[in-house]
Amino acid sequence: MNFLKTTALVALMGSIAIPAMAEQRVLKLFTDASDPAPKAAFEQLVKGFEAENPDVKVEVNTFDHEGYKTAIRNFLTADSPDLANWYAGNRMAPFVNAGQFTDVSDVWEENGLKDSLGSALKSMTIDGKQWGVPYTYYQWGIYYNKDVYKKAGVEVPKTWDEFISNCKKFKEMGVDCLTTGTKALWPAAGIFDYLDLRTNGYDFHMKLTSGEIPWTDDRVKAVFAEWKKVLPYTTKNVAAIDWQDAVSNIVQGKAANYVMGNFAVATFKDGGMTNDTLGFMDFPTINPDIPRAEEAPTDTIHIPAGAKNKADAKKFLAYVAKADVQTKMNEELGQLPINKNSSVGDDPYLQAGFKILSTADGGIAQFFDRDAPAQMAKAGMEGFQEFMAYPDHLDAILERLEKVRQRVYKN
């Protein structure tokens, strides 16, 4: 009799449990977060979302970085997941223009994201609509040797004129005012981007990198005119050295300043620099009438147009936009949260970056090789490298870049 009662009770419990399990919905997430830190950050993110939404199971498919660049073009047209990570700005534009990303303006409106994620609003907006949610970025700026500044008796500059004035003092000491290493091309793009953002502003820079403005435009020439001012004080033969070699120039006091991303801090410290000797400053002002824009490559999550579970996908975007979620996620990534109400640890470079990015009212550029198509980016960076060695080639360089623009953007 007891056996029969037990059997009946188990059957009853099973009949209750089975419908509950059957109600659990699936959310498919495709990502290229394959390195250890990003992978751990996404695992933490998914675990937290599932804890808040026990009726949703997130299935994650992780690709390697290079494979993902090809895979996303295939899975967006063939078998879309519900969520996919990508990048802000002009990198997401082709998918938006092709109708492959979902308009998530309602997620932004309902969760107050235009305020809390305000620094990334421009880079997430096309045709007045938002097409994804950003979750991490890192700052670019100028890293400098504090001891060299002390020996030269100069202050950290606020304007480009002050920066150039300091260069003359550094040259008297036999120190390069600016160093970089362009063997791999991309470090020169950081200099160009900031000079353009400070000379012409974010909107102009985005139009230039999206092919709407000729490279022979006088406003582009004005950017190179500012760059030419610092060339006499820049490390020679930068095309022959890698970015890590230029780090050594700062570490050894052979150079004072380096336009670089925050990922380089570990390399500076591996060379022996400390928080007491390595400084960070925002790129100086050139035109004070232009709203301050910054360079910060931004990672994002989107809902493909072919997603089957858009309702839960929008819940996921709202979750990843939360201040506390972005704080935890970026602690794992070692980068910066975009939500202005998030917090960062004691690292002074992250604190400085969080401050300048959270208050950037001009916009957030993604970096030249993210903002421009691959062919234009390669040609542009080759041109920047050539200009640094042969500034008198400028007209020929710009005419060449203009021909590339007309070919790359003709469709």
CA dist 387 and 395 (Å) reads: 10
Residue 11, pLDDT above cutoff 60: no
Mean pLDDT of 142-154: 98
176: β partners:
255
> Do residues 302 and 176 touch, judged by C-beta distance below 8 A?
no
In this prediction, residue 20 carries a pLDDT of 47
> What's the angle, vertex CA 213, arms to CA 220 and CA 99, rounded to 5?
140
Rounded to a whole number, what is the largest CA-CA distance in the chain?
101
In this prediction, residue 18 carries a pLDDT of 44
> Do residues 111 and 318 touch, judged by C-beta distance below 8 A?
yes
100: Cβ contacts below 8 Å, ≥ 6 apart: 76, 77, 304, 305, 306
Mean pLDDT of 302-326: 98
In this prediction, residue 69 carries a pLDDT of 86
- Confidence band of 4 (pLDDT split at 50, 70, 90): very low
Average pLDDT of every residue of the chain: 93
In this prediction, residue 402 carries a pLDDT of 98
Residue 231, pLDDT above cutoff 50: yes
Mean pLDDT of 109-116: 98
Q: Which tens digits make up the pLDDT trace of 274-292?
A: 999 999 999 999 999 999 9
Q: What's the token pair of residue 353?
A: 């970056």
Mean pLDDT of 137-162: 98
Q: Which tens digits make up the pLDDT trace of 235-276?
A: 999 999 999 999 999 999 999 999 999 999 999 999 999 999
143: β partners:
258, 280
Residue 345, pLDDT above cutoff 90: no
Residue 326, pLDDT above cutoff 70: yes
In this prediction, residue 7 carries a pLDDT of 46
Residue 161, pLDDT above cutoff 80: yes
Helix crossing, 374-389 with 394-408: angle to 10°? 180
Residue 9, pLDDT above cutoff 70: no
Mean pLDDT of 301-329: 98
Radius of gyration of the chain (CA): 24
Residue 6, pLDDT above cutoff 50: no
For residues 5 and 263, which has the higher predicted lDDT (pLDDT)? 263
- How much of the chain exceeds pLDDT 70, in percent? 94
> What's the angle, vertex CA 350, arms to CA 345 and CA 352, rounded to 5?
115
Mean pLDDT of 140-163: 98
> What's the angle, vertex CA 263, arms to CA 357 and CA 45, rounded to 5?
70
Q: What's the token pair of residue 328?
A: 């935890």
Q: What's the token pair of residue 212?
A: 């709407």
- Confidence band of 91 (pLDDT split at 50, 70, 90): confident
Residue 12, pLDDT above cutoff 50: no
- Confidence band of 22 (pLDDT split at 50, 70, 90): low
Q: Which tens digits make up the pLDDT trace of 212-223?
A: 999 999 999 999
What is the DSSP annotation of 122-174?
GGGEETTEE--EEEEE--EEEEEEHHHHHHHT-PPPSBHHHHHHHHHHHHHTT
- Confidence band of 334 (pLDDT split at 50, 70, 90): confident
- How much of the chain exceeds pLDDT 90, in percent? 86
Residue 8, pLDDT above cutoff 90: no
Mean pLDDT of 314-333: 96
